[in-house]
Structure 1
């Protein structure tokens, strides 16, 4: 016991001496500017903060267009949610973004049928680089007791990044994605200067940890990049036969 006390005392003495031997003014390493802006948070976690761009507030689709022809989005809006209309196809934001923080909530219908990829399939394209399914897709799917290939399950960067966990809730329950997206940068000749990176939380569980993307999503073949600038965010109307999913409370904070 005496030996332990002596060792502790010696360690404390050495630490104190080391601190005392530091020369100079500690204020020299204090940084005071620029002062971070004040952001007022929502009453609950999912509410949009004061500096967010609200993309869907449960009332209308004024901030969205149909991808195939740029006409007003025709998905169904009811009870504060928007639901996929497969007949009208994908929709995307009118506004384009580069780097951002995204919050979006989604729900698989309680009466979902099918299995594998044909079970509540949709996607959030973090940057829509063209028509159809062009861009970088964060997979939306019912993987609650539903087996599929792991780089295509809920929370995957489709056909690229396997999620770190399966945090799916039961069909019929609202779920959340919170995403930090850092878009790729390109040199003048079209080569990649900085690849895209993404961090994804699903229902508060980390699924993608600053993952470095290999390129845009491809259903067949390896992902690849092509030069682009700021892009809209796109929601997918998948062609499977299962019941369409719904979204609500969508906001983004440009970074």
Structure 2
């Protein structure tokens, strides 16, 4: 028994000394050992101002036409109004969506709540931006109107409230910069990784790389169902005269 104990104690002593020995054997590398030169980072020309589209962006709406959208209801030309470089929801005409599909993306979009104030809560300046037609970043006049927190402007609808209320007054322009990672599904349609999103509202971080729980539902629990890797961006007709301008996307 004493021999075994002595051996065990010796083994422990060696193991305790090993980290000290390892620390003494510090490997010195030249700076070049941790540098790499490939791949070469491609150049992108920024816009003259941060809200302007960079050179690799797909401009969805520049104020000249609605030609990059179709009606979600009919698949035909959208019936929203276009005036002075701004498009406005035409209540009752239905949602519109991009002709192109998108997955991982950086989305810039500007919107304005109606200057004629009516209604409260979800009835005031309501619209929505549906990423991949499924995942809604809420558009709402939450400037001086109370509603459920996970339904106010810049919420991930019915899932996450914004970190702060960064709304501007009705008639002023709000900016969303949205950084979205699409969900991944395997060949059997099982979810491999959920969607994630970061939202900056008027220059203020309001959603910080949160994990989207599934399609944003008005009623019920979100539940992922497999869908294509790229789908249109949808803008909602909720019956209010919400306006949009300067929409561009960078595929990531």
Aligned to 2:174: 175
Aligned to 1:80: 85
Residues 67-106 of structure 1 mapped to structure 2, 5 A cutoff = 67-106=72-111
Aligned to 2:207: 208
Distance 2:223 2:184 in 1: 14
User: 1:120 aligned to 2:119?
Assistant: no
Aligned to 2:236: 236
Aligned to 1:138: 137
Corresponding residue to 2:250 among 230, 236, 253 = 253
Deviations 1:71-128 (A, max 9, x none): 0111111111100012220000000011000000000122221111000000000111
Aligned to 2:7: none
Distance 1:224 1:112 in 2: 35
Distance 2:44 2:125 in 1: 35
Aligned to 1:44: 49
SS of the residue 1:151 aligns to = helix
Segments of 5+ residues of structure 1 without an aligned counterpart are: 1-17, 129-134
Distance 2:111 2:248 in 1: 13
Distance 1:223 1:244 in 2: 28
Distance 2:138 2:70 in 1: 21
Q: What is the number of equivalent residue pairs in this alignment?
A: 227
SS of the residue 1:217 aligns to = coil
Deviations 1:104-162 (A, max 9, x none): 0000122221111000000000111xxxxxx1110000111110000001111100111
Instruction: Tell me by how many angstroms 1:245 deviates.
Output: 0.7
Distance 1:93 1:114 in 2: 29
Distance 2:33 2:232 in 1: 44
Aligned to 2:66: 61
Distance 1:66 1:235 in 2: 10
Instruction: Tell me by how many angstroms 1:182 deviates.
Output: 0.5
Alignment TM-score, normalising by the size of structure 1: 0.87
Alignment TM-score, normalising by the size of structure 2: 0.88
Aligned to 1:107: 112
CA-atom RMSD in angstroms: 1.2
Point out the structure with max Rg over C-alpha: 2
User: Which runs of structure 1 show a deviation greater than 4 angstroms over 4 or more consecutive aligned residues?
Assistant: none
